[in-house]
Chains A and B, each alone.
Chain A
């Protein structure tokens, strides 16, 4: 097999698309799994959130939003569609892209874990707000959860999910970010070659 930089552009793009779709599928498969050492209070890492952060960290706001929307809908399909997960993941994508980490911090390892920690808290808070709005708008006997239940559950979920997601974030982040860096490098190199 020829080295990657000898590949035609369409071949590389196809490979890149395969990696993107494949990694999302892997994250989806990891969601219902609870492996020993990967749970806290019965809660596992939010792999889709880690993926959205990894994707958005070096991309534009629009890219982040679209990724959040797509993965949010996918998570809806795997658990429950009301309230939708798309809102929280879109916000995570947009905020992460807005941070423009690469302009301020070069270092990767801890800063990404920190971003994931913060975003997990943000995402769970958005879900809690969605549940609260639902419980305020429906009569008590039909609401999913009462207000007090929502916010006491939120404390546990936000903390557990933030800790686990940030600790496991590098597992998904490093291969992906390394791959995408290489892709951008090859593309720029090719663009430069064409100019010459």
Chain B
């Protein structure tokens, strides 16, 4: 009897239940794979409107090229000087140009989508810059696209330093083109127009990447003095970005030193 009721219930409801389960199941699968299939499709569709990287070379205007050449010159000089001091050259980094093919898929996160992915050698944690300075960090990668969390997102916390006076603090995005820098010192030496760069305390970003300029300073803020930083990369007008490899230092704290008893035990073990 109950079996019969069950079958009747199923007959009446299957029109609704089967497609529902199918829909939700597909959605869960897509969500678990971080939207890989959706972004790949998006890249195919939008890709038609973006020129290839070969054509891109022609699009970069002369001014940018000139600046890049100057930068290369300075970097090589810098490397030579570094070699003089430390005896070891800085590791060479390979940069990847990537078109920005999309913005955030909702209104709460400051994200962009790049049209290059793991097939082009991008990995999670790589650093994204643009003419002007820091843009953000790659947070997820599909074969041909990658998602970038912008420096202007409130969840982006970046260790930064005032280039002139070396006072350090951390910076949180405020949406669009602004960020708030909070100082560790009570009385920092900072004034409007100072250049802000990533500091060597930053775990996720390489030190010395330009970020922006100080727009205003509030020394009376509680609990620590703050400064509004205007990000120098034009986040809302970007079309191309440069991705450079970076291994984030996720473990900053050294492992707790083993206690004496433990060290004794391990040495004993080894002896035995």
Q: Which residues of A contact B (CB under 8 A)?
A: 17, 25, 28-29, 31-34, 41-44, 46, 62-63, 66-67, 69-81, 85, 124, 127, 131, 144-145, 149, 153, 157, 160-161
Contact = CB atoms under 8 A, between A and B. Distances in A.
B154 A149 contact: yes
Contact of B105 (A31, A70, A145): A31
Interface string B22-40: 0110111011111100110
Nearest to A45: B107
Nearest to A40: B107
Given A42-B176, A144-B155, A33 B102 contact: yes
Given A32-B42, A42-B236, A70 B27 contact: yes
Contacts of B105: 31-32, 75, 78-79
Contacts of A17: 19
Contacts, number: 100
Contact of B108 (A67, A69, A131): A131
Contacts of A81: 31
| Interchain residue pairs A-B with the least CB separation, the first 3 | A32-B102, A77-B35, A78-B105
Interface of B: 16, 19-20, 23-24, 26-28, 30-35, 38-39, 41-42, 45-46, 101-109, 111, 113, 154-155, 175-176, 236
A77 B34 contact: yes
Nearest to B235: A42
Contacts of A157: 107-108
A73 B155 contact: no
Nearest to A81: B31
Contact of B41 (A25, A145, A161): A25
A81 to B, nearest CB: 6
A76 B30 CA distance: 9
B31 A77 contact: yes
A45 B246 CA distance: 35
Contact of B103 (A34, A41, A46, A69): A34
A77 B30 contact: yes
Contacts of B236: 42
A76 B154 contact: no
30 contacts: A17-B19, A25-B41, A28-B38, A29-B38, A29-B41, A32-B101, A32-B105, A32-B113, A33-B102, A34-B103, A41-B176, A44-B103, A62-B16, A70-B23, A71-B27, A72-B27, A73-B24, A76-B31, A77-B35, A78-B35, A78-B38, A78-B39, A78-B105, A79-B108, A124-B107, A127-B108, A131-B108, A145-B155, A153-B175, A157-B107
Contacts of A75: 105-106
Contact of B107 (A43, A62, A70, A73): A43
A144 B35 CA distance: 22
A70 B26 CA distance: 8
B104 A73 contact: no
Given A77-B38, A127-B108, A161-B107, A69 B33 contact: no
Contacts of B26: 70
A55 to B, nearest CB: 11
Contact of A74 (B27, B45, B101, B104): B27
A78 B106 CA distance: 8
- Name the residue among A28, A42, A46 with the largest chain B CB count within 10 angstroms: A42
Contacts of B27: 69-74, 77
B185 to A, nearest CB: 18
